[in-house]
Amino acid sequence: MNRFDYIIIGAGSAGCVLAKRLTESGKDRVLLLEAGGSDRSPLIQVPLGYGLTYADPKYNWMYMAEPDPAMNHRALYWPRGKVLGGSSSLNAMVYMRGQEGDFDDWRDAGNPGWAWDDVLPYFKKSEDHCWGASEHHGAGGELHVSDFADQVHPLCERFLKAGDALGFQRTADFNGPTKEGFGLWQMTIRKGLRESTAKTFLRSAMKRANLTVITHAMVRRVVIEGHRATGVECLIDGVLQSFGAAKEVIVSAGAVNSPQLLQVSGIGDAAHLRQHGVPVLHHLPRVGQGLQDHLAVSYFFKSKVPTLNNTLGPWYGKLWAGLRYAWDRKGPLGMSVNQAGAFVRSRPELARPNLHLYFNPISYTAGSAPIGKRFQLQNPDPFAAFLISFNTCRPTSRGSVLIQSPDPLAKPRIQTNFLTTEHDRQDIMDGSRMLRRIAATAPLAEVISEEHLPGAQVQSEEAIFADFGQRAGSVYHASCTCAMGPDPMGSVVDARLRVHGIAGLRVIDASVFPAVTSGNTNAPTIMVAEKGADMVLQDNR
């Protein structure tokens, strides 16, 4: 058996950060195992390429959730990264930490050390912000964060001015002192190229002699001996191999694969494990429970002025965008289509924002539908249009990720349970009204010819919910399936991310969130990895 000090399972948003930090001393031998392959493809490095990797099984687990009653019994598509960098190699690159209260809530749930003031230094540690170091931002870190105010589509300013007209404040920095209001997104892009954690953290660490990275390595189970994790078994090129861990095994496989791996290793709800023929090594009933995600719907508006549809729809527009990108790595291919948005309170009595809004100067109602078992986001609509989306910031509905087989290669059952609380249903109505208020406000209203979807005929509460159930989908912010907390019967890991009842085993990724953050989850996942790495090193001194 090959022995290492640490074994990290999953080279995603968290795993790449851990590999970098745990090898910095040069003393510890670290093994990083990734089920996917290389991230060198231009589809990953060119920012707008995520419209193609969205449906490519070479880079994507391409999960499907179970049919959900709230979604008109539809089975929603759940893309997850299966490549170096994980979902940070496939996402829309928006850098968003979340509201300060999100992390104070984590602390108040029984997790000391996770309040906003505790986690801000870890956000700053990894950051290389284009504006330089400040009270709110870091400089010189691995992850470059860019401002695209000079490149966004002109329609974004109309969206922002509509917010002004409605009395909402404008913020220049959603990650700065004012996290509420209308503004432009910052993105993890450097000089026109995606800043995944594979590129920013792992690439330099791979030059170190004490780091071993193995791709196309499918971990079958964590080896547990006497309530201690001692190693892993995995398939590499069809051959079963074993690796030992002298100090710790760290599971960083994401909100779907981390709970799945624990369960097939014998850690989970005892009755469920026995039902599927898995020997029970440790009864931990919350493994795979508590799943949270952001659920969004888009309203599409036909435009009287050109949008990115006019640019990226025709063949000659694609050619122009390609030539522009080749010239200076700018233009539509060099950034995300998620360009502007807002965090707002739909009701004045709320203590903090409950709605996360997105403005994209493009529409793709025809290209986002399923084609067999494949999905595509490749071609915009053949007419000028744009979209505004919303999701509730802090949903209270909870789902689960549970194995259906002892075979780790079999996909788990993802049960979303969307809109099972009155809180979430209220936000759906508020969000629909908010989008239409914005669209009806000048100067944005001046360029709208009609509401394309869902259409002006959809007005009643019943009709709005029916449309939401037919068209809404995941924003791909899966989290909370191995949540941290003080009670082994109510959580999976403690505040130091150690699996309750199993020595030498941690989970460090978005699955440990006690509750999903208000915004995009990539930046908080990187923060969790930074803080988790410090905990690992402190506890093993």
Which residue, among 270, 269, 93, has the nearest Cα to 194 in the 3D structure?
93
Question: What does the longest C-alpha to C-alpha distance in the chain come to?
Answer: 69
Which residue, among 468, 465, 463, 538, has the nearest Cα to 496 in the 3D structure?
538
Check if the beta carbon of residue 138 is closer than 8 Å to that of residue 125.
Answer: yes
In this structure, the number of other CB atoms found within 10 A of the CB of residue 409 comes to 10
Check if the beta carbon of residue 386 is closer than 8 Å to that of residue 363.
Answer: yes
Instruction: Kindly tell me the burial class for residue 66, based on how many C-beta atoms sit within 10 Å of its own C-beta (0-12, 13-18, 19 or more).
Output: middle
Tell me the DSSP string of 509-534: SGGG-SS--SS-SHHHHHHHHHHHHH
Catalytic hit among 272, 356, 477, 500? 477
**Cα 23 from Cα 5, distance rounded (Å):** 10
**Cα 363 from Cα 45, distance rounded (Å):** 23
Burial 442-464 (b: 16+ CB within 10 A, else e): eebeebbeebbbbeeebeeeeeb
* Total number of residues shown for the chain: 541
Active-site annotation holds for 477:
yes
Report residue 121 CA to chain centroid gap: 21
* Cα first-last separation, the chain: 25
In this structure, the number of other CB atoms found within 10 A of the CB of residue 279 comes to 9
* CB-side neighbour CA atoms (13 Å) of 56: 21
* AA letter at 158: R
Report residue 51 CA to chain centroid gap: 16
Helix orientation angle between 15-22 and 522-539, rounded to the nearest 10 degrees: 30
Q: How far is CA 377 from CA 59, 146, 294, in A?
A: 15, 24, 19
Q: Tokens 């404040």 label which residue?
A: 169
φ and ψ of 230, to 5 deg: -120, -10
Whether omega for the bond prior to residue 443 falls within 30 degrees of 0, making it cis, is yes
Beta strands, E only, 322-404: 340-344, 355-360, 370-371, 374-375, 385-392, 399-402
Strands 295-303 and 385-392: antiparallel
Residues labelled as active-site residues:
477
